[in-house]
């Protein structure tokens, strides 16, 4: 295999955003898709809910826009929101044409409703929409000769032309250095157009609903290359993730609380039901309120988890309503018909990211970003349920249109990766220890409830870790673990910097020191230091 690959378009990431872009571009461009594990290992495959679009009687674009703005706590960009909502039905129609098996009722798309939506507008495939969509797209991509797939290939860094000919011109992206993790060598990919579609950064926290791939690779690489990053303080937490050493990222649906599940302290603390102490709506309060209450009780009592108890419901009721949760818990030795479920809140969705326009353009010429990697302005301070999958498709199409219209300039010679002066690391324990330390202090200090003092502690530890990791990176042969840790520490730094700049509590950012809302809602935009 050659160390140098040339393509018209390089797409980094194989979730819904990346594969949508690849399929639309395949007729006109030579496309490479790189993905750091297997093709279906990203977050899109895990999405249980659905895709929001105005398709039902009585619904309207204005209504969907308004619901999104309300959820976003005053911080959504109106133009981006309207652009997404207006283009959502066409995105659904495209998926139908590809053969995605959406749930139907009387021959029409079955529309369900989720929290925050004023109408039924969620298109879904039972309770595993992401998996159904991804399976369809992956089959189509594998059968498209113009798309070359590179599985088990991880982004190391973007390649940019820093010597722009005219003063004030933005740098141009020329492709990326990519680690082939199976052959253990770094390859050079040249492309006129590069698309970041690497997903979010949930793995920066100790508890997350995200897959292991969600290490903020595109956000970190974009920042290092010179892209602005926006709204990184807004991390959406799911209130109830199963707490068990062998149950990585298994969600306990909010419907369990909707059907009477009660949140309690563990038996050694008396088994007290605590939600009524925090909110009159108790277990039926919005997810951010429930997550904060659980976080408060865990920190107050030094707990690893709290308990969600629905054992008072008849076993046949639980078998009918929650067959998957019942089965998964039984596999782990938890009988939810007789005992409570141990749960913790978990990082769920990254609302901020690389700043883009409506065509996915970043601050760097030839570099685009789509999906959870981005800050388009759609999600504001809190994401409305089921708006994320549609954002992937709508902005991927926007980027496709921009790439088709853009010239494909001749690329200058790019130096190949040189690791002749580095050695193999003999202390992998350092990487695993730093990874664990990072995720723990981010959970404790930059989680659901924040204070100035906690943020300062986190910033201090991040600075120490960055020094260690940079030393490691410069001296040793790169590995996937080292690259992911480097990216996570960079993303942690962006989250903490953003949180320290927001002197209010808005949406997903809750500060004990600034509990009120400022009169004007403004995004947090970070500008990277000059190269």
Per DSSP, the residues of 96-150 read: HHHT----EETTEE-EE--TT-SS--EE-STT-HHHHHHHHHHHHHHT-TTEEEE
Residue of 479, 438, 12, 39 lying closest to 208 (CA atoms): 438
CA angle 248, 480, 143 (to 5 degrees): 80
User: Is 224 one of the annotated active-site residues of the chain?
Assistant: no
Q: How many Cβ atoms are within 10 Å of 54's Cβ, its own excluded?
A: 19
| Range 265-272, long-range pairs (CB < 8 A, 24+ positions) | 265/297, 265/301, 265/303, 265/306, 265/307, 266/303, 266/305, 266/306, 266/307, 269/301, 271/307
Residue of 52, 48, 56 lying closest to 126 (CA atoms): 48
Among the listed residues 121, 287, 361, 502, the single catalytic one is: 287
Segment (H or E) for 258: helix 255-258
Give 238's strand partners: 346
Give 309's strand partners: 262
Contact 417, 3 (CB under 8 A): yes
Contact 372, 218 (CB under 8 A): no
Residue of 500, 485, 508, 432 lying closest to 203 (CA atoms): 485
* Catalytic annotation, residues: 287
């Amino acid at each position: 295999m050659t160390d140098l690959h040339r393509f018209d378009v390089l797409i980094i990431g194989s979730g819904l955003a990346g594969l949508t872009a690849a399929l639309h571009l395949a007729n006109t461009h030579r496309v490479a898709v790189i993905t750091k594990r297997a093709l279906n290992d990203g977050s899109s495959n895990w999405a249980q809910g659905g895709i929001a679009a105005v398709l039902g009687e009585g619904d309207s674009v204005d209504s969907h826009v308004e619901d999104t703005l309300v959820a976003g706590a005053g911080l959504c960009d109106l133009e981006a929101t309207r652009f997404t909502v207006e283009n959502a039905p066409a995105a659904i129609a495209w998926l139908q044409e590809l053969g995605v098996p959406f749930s139907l009722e009387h021959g029409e798309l079955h529309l369900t409703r989720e929290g925050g939506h004023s109408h039924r507008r969620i298109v879904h495939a039972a309770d595993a929409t992401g998996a159904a969509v991804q399976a369809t797209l992956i089959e189509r991509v594998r059968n498209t000769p113009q798309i070359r797939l590179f599985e088990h290939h991880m982004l190391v860094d973007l390649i940019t032309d820093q010597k722009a000919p005219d003063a004030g011109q933005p740098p141009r992206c020329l492709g990326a250095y990519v680690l082939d993790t199976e052959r253990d060598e770094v390859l050079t990919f040249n492309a006129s157009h590069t698309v970041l579609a690497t997903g979010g950064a949930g793995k920066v926290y100790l508890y997350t609903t995200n897959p292991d791939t969600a290490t903020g690779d595109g956000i970190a690489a974009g920042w290092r290359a010179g892209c602005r990053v926006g709204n990184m303080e807004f991390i959406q937490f799911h209130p109830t993730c199963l707490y068990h050493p062998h149950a990585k990222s298994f969600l306990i649906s909010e419907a369990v609380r909707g059907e009477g599940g009660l949140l309690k302290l563990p038996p050694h603390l008396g088994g007290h039901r605590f939600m009524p102490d925090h909110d009159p709506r108790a277990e039926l309060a919005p997810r951010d309120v429930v997550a904060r209450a659980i976080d408060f009780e865990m920190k107050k009592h030094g707990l690893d988890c709290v308990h969600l108890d629905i054992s008072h419901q008849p076993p046949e009721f639980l078998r009918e309503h929650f067959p998957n949760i019942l089965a998964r818990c039984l596999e782990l030795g938890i009988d939810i018909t007789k005992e409570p479920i141990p749960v913790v809140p978990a990082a769920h969705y990254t609302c901020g990211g690389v700043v883009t326009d409506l065509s996915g353009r970043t601050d760097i010429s030839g570099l685009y970003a789509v999906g959870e990697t981005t800050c388009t302005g759609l999600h504001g301070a809190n994401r409305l349920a089921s708006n994320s999958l549609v954002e992937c498709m709508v902005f991927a199409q926007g980027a496709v249109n921009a790439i088709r219209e853009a010239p494909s300039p001749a690329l200058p010679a790019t130096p190949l990766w040189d690791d002749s002066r580095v050695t193999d690391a003999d202390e992998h324990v350092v990487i695993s220890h730093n990874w664990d330390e990072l995720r723990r202090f981010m959970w404790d200090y930059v989680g659901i409830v924040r204070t100035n003092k906690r943020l300062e502690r986190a910033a201090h530890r991040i600075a120490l870790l960055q020094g260690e990791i940079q030393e490691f990176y410069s001296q040793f042969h790169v590995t996937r673990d080292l690259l992911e840790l480097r990216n996570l520490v960079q993303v942690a730094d962006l989250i903490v910097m953003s949180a320290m700049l927001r002197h209010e509590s808005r949406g997903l950012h809750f500060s004990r020191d600034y509990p009120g809302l400022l009169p004007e809602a403004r995004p947090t935009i970070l500008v990277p230091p000059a190269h």
